[in-house]
């Protein structure tokens, strides 16, 4: 698992270049939009899809994070009394760090890339021109406000769950953790695409960023300090 860090970085760069040089994003998004009715396949205001794919997953991720935080903060004598073998404290903190910082990194990128979501561009009834990450807006056609579409922020919480693979001691367990993160993140990302809020590239790049952040944390040296347990040494 840890050996995939540099291949993942290479894949991130390759995918970014592929989407920048091709029209794959628009081709995929065209299939999510009805040009006759001017509507997306999923209505953003529909309460059931929003509960299942937006607010519900976010609440579950927050609940999991709080539970892991409590587990990681328990004194050793209490952890040893748990009805199940506790995960190594180091691994739990890495999951928590990934859940906290991977979405934060994505959110910071969204604020700087100035890319608009599909529903905001003119091709799909919006007001902004379609411009990719490395492209510039025409001098006579600059939107008054900045876009915040790249990468995919909502899906980052789901993809950050891939860090659960680090809690497993077996290959099967790591696969299960990875599957959970990929499944939840893909579900959340697909929902956003179907309602016109993100492109395919936004979702794939976010998945790789979350995985790379997780692997990077696993490479940080850790040390023990009296009274506060295991902390990251930076």
Could you read off the pLDDT tens digit of each residue along the chain, which spans 234 residues?
A: 889 999 999 999 999 999 999 999 999 999 999 999 999 999 999 999 999 999 999 999 999 999 999 988 888 777 777 766 677 889 999 999 999 999 999 999 998 999 999 999 999 999 999 999 999 998 889 898 899 999 999 999 999 999 999 998 889 999 999 999 999 999 999 999 999 999 999 999 999 999 999 999 999 875 444 443 444 433
- pLDDT of amino acid 124: 96
- pLDDT of amino acid 226: 40
Instruction: To the nearest 10°, report the CA torsion of 98, 102, 103, 106.
Output: 180
- pLDDT of amino acid 233: 37
- pLDDT of amino acid 227: 40
- pLDDT of amino acid 232: 41
């Amino acid at each position: 698992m840890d050996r995939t860090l540099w291949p993942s970085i290479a894949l991130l760069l390759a995918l970014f270049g592929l989407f920048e040089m091709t029209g794959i994003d628009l081709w995929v998004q065209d299939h999510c939009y009805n040009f006759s009715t001017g509507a997306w396949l999923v209505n953003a205001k529909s309460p059931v899809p929003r509960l299942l794919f937006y607010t519900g997953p976010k609440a579950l991720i927050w609940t999991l994070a709080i539970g892991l935080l409590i587990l990681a903060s328990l004194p050793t004598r209490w952890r040893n009394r748990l009805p199940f073998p506790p995960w190594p404290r180091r691994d739990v903190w890495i999951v928590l760090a990934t859940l906290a910082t991977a979405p934060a990194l994505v959110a910071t990128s969204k604020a700087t890339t100035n890319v608009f979501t599909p529903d905001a561009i003119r091709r799909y009834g919006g007001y902004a021109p379609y411009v990719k990450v490395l492209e510039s807006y025409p001098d006579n056609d600059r939107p008054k406000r900045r876009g915040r579409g790249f990468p995919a922020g909502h899906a980052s919480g789901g993809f950050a769950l891939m860090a659960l693979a680090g809690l497993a001691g077996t290959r099967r367990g790591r696969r299960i953790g990875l599957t959970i993160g990929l499944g939840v993140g893909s579900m959340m990302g697909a929902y956003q695409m179907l309602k016109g809020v993100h492109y395919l590239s936004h979702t794939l790049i976010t998945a790789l960023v979350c995985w790379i952040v997780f692997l990077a944390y696993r490479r940080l040296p850790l040390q023990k300090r009296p009274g506060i347990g295991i902390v990251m040494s930076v």
